[in-house]
Structure 1
Amino acid sequence: MTADGNQATATDFRPRRSVLYMPGANERALEKAKGLPADALILDLEDAVAPAAKEAARERVCALAAEGAYGHREVIIRVNGRDTSWHADDLRAAAKAGPDAVLVPKVSSADEVHAIEADLVAAGAPERTKIWAMVETPIAMLRALEIAAASPRLAVLVMGTNDLANELRAEHVPGRAPLLPGLGLCLLAARAAGKAIIDGVYNDVRNAEGFAAECQQGRELGFDGKTLIHPGQVEPCNEAFSPSDKQLTEATEIVRAFEEAVAEGRGVVTVNGRMIENLHVDNARRLLAVDAAIAELAAAR
């Protein structure tokens, strides 16, 4: 269901199962991305680009975003941080290019969100260009709700788990126990503010089993998808964050049983011996709408 109580539809959801970072200085990789089944692409001007290549990467990335080179995939430009000499030029160029969103690293307060929004407006960014905020520091974890609720233009929180682990002096371990408090705080904030939230990257691209386990953990926790650093991670990530056939079958049964009960004036609904409440119906409709949106995106590629 939507916030106003209406039944959700496919257009209410934008799949963000797989969100792949693409280095803005790598022309070959940027070209290859046009054929990848990622739901969203982050064209990166920050970590993946050496200082000497920043300006050329900015020009290349913004040109690709402006021309709609990636079809129906969501396109996000990650600018350099507000504490760098490249930030202002990155933001102005991104605003002019008009991507789906601008991703800003190390956002730590509502004031920073307001400043980013003001800069985008001043630079003439179209209304469709949203703000994605990377939350990757201890102070950002503690201010997650403040950040998430700062502006309607802020659409997505992105977990920066590598930087968070570094600042916590934590180890990268299976199960991510050191990071779970921060992940939980940000998930709570995103859901309270009605925003999407994307899990952090998995570093060992050769460890398919470990990656699958972390995708499963992220989905179970409630993340909408995961940021990725290698094209080989895209398809398993899409599978992990898509509703399963079993879930979709059950969701269809729940919605059908509920609608039949309403039509017959019955107040009690059971499916496979289980009592069904409104929250189960809402979740079933959400899963079906997500599946429809995924099918819509796949058909548009």
Structure 2
Amino acid sequence: MININRPRRSVLYMPGVNTRALEKAKTLPADSLILDLEDAVAPDSKSIARENIRTALESGFGHREAVVRINGLNTPWGLDDLKAFANTKADAIVLPKVESAKKIQEVAKLLSELNAPKDLTIWAMIETPKAIFKLEEIAGAHPRLEALVLGTSDLVKDLHARHTLDRTETLTALSLSVLAARAYGLCVLDGVHLILDDEAGLKQSCVQGRDMGFDGKTLIHPSQIALANELFGPSAQEIEEAQQKIAAYESAISTGAGIAVLNGKLIEELHIQDAKRLLALAAAIQSFGTNN
């Protein structure tokens, strides 16, 4: 089942070849884990990583969403990856370098042929210039598609651009990806921050992504989780303000008014919809038993 309202503040890449990391992941406060068979795994280690992830999935990751990034179907490993995880405890399959609806539809067809459960969804990596030009086609490709995941490192490489603090080089791609996701009811996840010892840079990137509309941040190290959770989750002040907006609006409606005024600001139905979304997110986070 598609669930774009699930908290995905922090989405950590975990190399499938590293059994110690996979075990540690079961204790981390990340909302979601991308168990990686692609970029983080050398060709000679693909089959070992596949078995490592299958074993880890059997014991589960608690409240953490566990998704598997397979190799592309145009590689020697992609089809075997898909067959290996079509009927496991994986929550989703992540497809690398998606550049058309056809790729998603092909994987969806294979999953059906493999009798994969209907709630096994597909996440599409958006990481090439061609993908950006095909965003609307990709976003509407298939009902199994649940999320767009920005691969900004590959995108910057393909653009022959340079990584900058304000991410000028990818702003167009980031914004178009959010637009496509919202138009088709998908989750959308921001790209990684590559510098590990850079809390200020990570914070700037998270705030920027959050303010643009991203649901969360993909991460490359556990040390980045806490900040992503904090910045992509609703603050205590935001929760209180959402509750006040709803109360003020309901009071106004009860008197026959169509709008309310709170602290000098007009409150309309659109603000209430957003307030309810924020409170639902806060409740879902609370159900995890952690805000960290």
Query: TM-score normalised by the shorter chain: which range applies?
Result: over 0.9
- Structure 1 residue 279: deviation in Å? 1.0
In 2: Cα distance, 1:264 partner to 1:178 partner: 51
Deviation at 1:233, TM superposition (A): 0.4
Task: Judge conservation of contact 2:4–2:185 (CA < 8 Å) in 1.
Answer: no
2:60: which partner in 1?
Answer: 69
Unaligned 5+ runs, structure 2: none
Indicate yes or no: 2:38 matched with 1:31. no
Q: Does the C-alpha gap of structure 1 residues 120 and 255 become closer, same or farther in structure 2, counting only changes over 3 Å?
A: same
Asked if 1:120 is matched to 2:128, the reply is no
Deviation at 1:13, TM superposition (A): 2.2
Deviations 1:140-195 (A, max 9, x none): 00111110111111000000000000000010010110101111111110000010
Contact 1:142 1:185 in 2 (8 A): no
**Closer, same or farther: CA 132–268 of 1 in aligned 2, 3 Å:** closer
Is 1:49 the counterpart of 2:9? The answer is no
The question of whether the paired residues in 2 share the 8 Å contact of 1:114 and 1:150 is answered with yes
Q: 1:98 deviation in Å?
A: 3.9
1:3 aligned partner: none
In 1, the alpha carbon distance for the partners of 2:43 and 2:101 equals: 29
Q: TM-score, normalised by structure 2?
A: 0.96
Measure, in 1, the Cα distance between the counterparts of 2:60 and 2:267.
45
1:19 maps to which of 11, 21, 26:
11
TM-score, normalised to structure 1, is 0.93
Per-residue displacement from partner, 1:184-242 (whole Å, max 9, x unpaired)? 11111000001000000110011111011101111011100010000000111100101
Kept in 1: contact 2:253–2:259 (CA 8 A): no
Q: Compare relative contact order (CA 8 Å, sep 6+) and give the higher one, 1 or 2.
A: 1
1:129 corresponds, among 109, 120, 126, to: 120
In 2, Cα distance between the equivalents of 1:268 and 1:47? Answer: 51
2:228 is the alignment partner of 1:237: yes
Paired letter, 2:87:
K
- Once residues 213 and 12 of structure 1 are traced to their aligned partners in structure 2, the CA distance between those partners, rounded to angstroms, is 24
Give the 3 Å change call, closer, same or farther, for CA 237–54 of structure 1 in structure 2: same
* 1:160 maps onto 2:151 in alignment: yes
Report how far residue 78 of structure 1 moved.
0.5
CA positional deviation for 1:138: 0.6
Partners of 1:268 and 1:240 lie apart in 2 by 30
Between the aligned partners of 2:247 and 2:134, the Cα distance in structure 1 is 42
Instruction: Verify the 8 A CA contact 2:13 2:36 in the aligned structure 1.
Output: yes
Find out whether 1:216 has 2:193 as its counterpart: no
1:265-292 C-alpha deviation (Å, 9 max, x unpaired): 2233111111111111111111111111
Counterparts of 1:94 and 1:147 in 2: how far apart (Å)?
22
Distance of aligned partners of 1:91 and 1:242 in 2 relative to their CA distance in 1, 3 Å threshold: same
Could you tell me how far apart the structure 2 residues matched to 1:267 and 1:179 are?
41
Structure 1 residues 300 and 243, CA, compared in 2 at 3 Å: closer, same or farther? closer
Partner residue in 2 for 1:111: 102
CA distance in 1, matches of 2:80, 2:117: 17
Q: 1:168 to 1:241 in 2, by over 3 A?
A: same
2:249/2:260 contact within 8 Å kept:
yes
CA drift of 1:68 comes to 4.4
The runs of 4+ residues in structure 1 deviating greater than 3 Å are none
- Counterpart CA distance in 1 for 2:204 and 2:275 is 25
Secondary structure of the residue aligned to 2:39 is: coil
Question: What are the superposed Cα offsets for residues 36-81 of structure 1, whole Å, 9 maximum, x if unpaired?
Answer: 000000110111111111101101102222x242012111000011
SS at match of 1:96: coil
Question: Would you say the 8 A contact 2:29–2:290 is kept in 1?
Answer: no
Question: Is the 8 Å Cα contact of residues 251 and 285 (structure 1) preserved in structure 2?
Answer: yes
The answer to whether structure 1 residue 92 and structure 2 residue 83 are counterparts is yes
